[in-house]
């Protein structure tokens, strides 16, 4: 990504999350690709303290897991996202 080469980590986090969203909404969902993007975005958000975006990443993973029948993982990410949003 251009943002990576320019060391624009905040913008990179938004872009990588968007790639996760795109992969998760394909028919059928590209689960592994979406997970990689969401997790990379979360790593960047942790590094940069971007908690709202991290919460959105957890929400995206939860929705992906719910659509693919991974109920327990979905519930875990929804719980994390809800907690994060409440703290914000």
pLDDT tens readout for residues 29-62? 999 999 999 999 999 999 999 999 999 999 999 9
The domain tally of the chain equals 1
Overall pTM surpassing 0.75 (yes/no): yes
Q: Are 25 and 66 in contact (CB under 8 A)?
A: no
pLDDT > 70: what percent of the chain? 92
For residue 29, the domain's CATH number is 1.25.40
Helix (H, G, I), strand (E, B) or coil at 26: coil
Q: Is the dihedral of CA 57, 61, 67, 72 positive or negative?
A: negative
- Domain of 61? 2-87
* Side-chain-side CA neighbours of residue 58 (13 Å): 19
Tell me the torsion sign for CA atoms 30, 35, 65, 57. negative
């Amino acid at each position: 990504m251009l943002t990576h080469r320019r060391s624009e980590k905040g913008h990179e986090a938004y872009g990588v999350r968007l790639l996760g969203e795109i992969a998760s909404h394909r028919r059928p969902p590209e689960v592994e690709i979406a997970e990689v993007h969401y997790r990379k975005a979360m790593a960047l958000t942790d590094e940069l303290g971007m908690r709202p975006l991290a919460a959105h990443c957890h929400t995206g993973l939860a929705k992906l897991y719910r659509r693919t029948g991974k109920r327990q993982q979905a519930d875990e990410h929804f719980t994390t996202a809800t907690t994060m949003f409440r703290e914000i």
